Amino acid sequence: MSNFRLSPLQINILQYLTNCQAHGQSPQTLQSKRSSLGLFVRWCIAREITCWQQIDPSVIEEYRRAVYSYLQPICLLHLDPSTQRNRLTAIKTCFQHLSKMRIIDADPTAELELPRCPRRLPGLIPDLAEIDQLLESIQPDTPRELRDRAICETSFATGIRRMELARLDVNNINFPANLVQVQRGKGNRDRVIPIASRACTWISRYLAEARPSWVGHQSGGSLFIDQKGLRFRGHQLSRLVGKRFLTNGLRARGACHLFRHAAATLMLEHGADIRCIQEFLGHADISTTQIYTHVTILRLRKVYLETHPSACRQPKAL
């Protein structure tokens, strides 16, 4: 669509998104901002608001209430607080940019209070026995099974995010040192983390026995590739790992992240320092990591109630 058909709102949003891209923001971040800002623009146009100068704090407050009260069509539930926050944050950061560039005189979102998002405990994290059962169930009888085993072993051993796993290149694995270089993680940050020798063994087998079956010029340096020789995408990894969880009677939603949750929780239970876990997971804020301490406390409480003599015995009548 050519610019003369766009409203001033849409033109400035395109300029803002181009600026975000120039600053190296990830495609996922850009898509999230594009979606949230698009919803806001459509809401504005329905009210005959076509330029930023028409937007004052009262308009922002009206939109905040609209986001809060919106009911999703199928389930008729309100948006999750984190989704509400993301939609409003996109508008707030856009207005901050417009104010900085002197496109608007004042930022109407300056007093906007974003919804608070309660920290949620990851639910039903698989224990070590369940993880071992899942991994051992993948018998490397074919190149495809061998690749899937290597993917699952790597995901659990490193605790890396789905997209970090998808972006791994062959040269990101330092086999002699048992290290992985994670590039362009969340916040576009790089980090180097350890990887178990067991996982390295499976990756080595995959590189020698499976990857050559599909590799082509389009594969580049991609570590994990599909049967067409293409780098795995995030949703493909979710489907692959999720199927393995389902096969073993475990919940499959957020399957790649379940490996991440399990790795962090088990390391904490075995005495790892919270700061080391933060570095391992690539969390910018330690408060994100501290949620796992709550998980281990819940498990400790369960074990305590089941095993401690004082907790197991019924109290005598006084």
Residue with tokens 């050559």: 212
Determine contact, residues 68/115, Cβ cutoff 8 Å: yes
Backbone angles phi and psi of 231, in degrees to 5: -60, 140
In tens digits, the chain (318 residues) has pLDDT values of 444 578 888 888 899 999 998 888 878 788 899 999 999 999 999 999 988 889 999 999 999 999 999 988 877 888 888 889 999 999 999 999 989 988 888 899 999 988 887 666 566 788 899 999 999 999 999 999 999 999 999 999 999 999 999 999 999 999 999 999 998 777 778 899 999 999 999 999 999 999 999 999 999 999 999 999 999 988 899 899 989 988 888 876 777 889 999 999 999 888 889 999 999 999 888 888 888 887 777 777 777 888 888 776 666 655
Determine contact, residues 293/283, Cβ cutoff 8 Å: no
Cross-strand partners of 231: 225
pLDDT digits (tens, 9 = 90+) for 99-156: 998 888 889 999 998 888 766 656 678 889 999 999 999 999 999 999 999 999 999 9
CA angle 113-118-122, nearest 5°? 150
Q: Mention every residue, 6+ apart, whose C-beta is less than 8 A from residue 149.
A: 135, 138, 140, 202, 206
Cross-strand partners of 169: 222
Distance of alpha carbon 131 from alpha carbon 199, whole angstroms: 14
Distance of alpha carbon 1 from alpha carbon 318, whole angstroms: 81
**Integer distance in angstroms from the first to the last C-alpha of the chain?**
81
Give, as one character, the DSSP assignment of residue 72: -
117, 168, 245, 273 from 126: Cα distances, Å = 25, 25, 10, 21
| Residue 284 identity (one-letter amino acid) | A
pLDDT digits (tens, 9 = 90+) for 164-185: 999 999 999 999 999 999 987 7
Determine contact, residues 222/193, Cβ cutoff 8 Å: no
Q: What is the mean pLDDT of the chain?
A: 88
SS3 192: strand
Residue with tokens 């329905």: 46
2, 29, 97, 103, 106 from 100: Cα distances, Å = 26, 21, 5, 8, 9
Residue 31, token pair as written in the block: 């898509």
Please classify residue 97 by burial: count the beta carbons closer than 10 Å to its beta carbon, then call 0-12 exposed, 13-18 middle and 19+ buried.
Answer: middle
pTM above 0.75, yes or no: no
Q: Which residues are catalytic?
A: 161, 186, 257, 260, 283, 292
To the nearest 10 degrees (0 to 180), the angle between helices 57-69 and 81-100 is 160
Residue with tokens 């074990």: 303
Distance of alpha carbon 159 from alpha carbon 261, whole angstroms: 7
Residues in the chain: 318
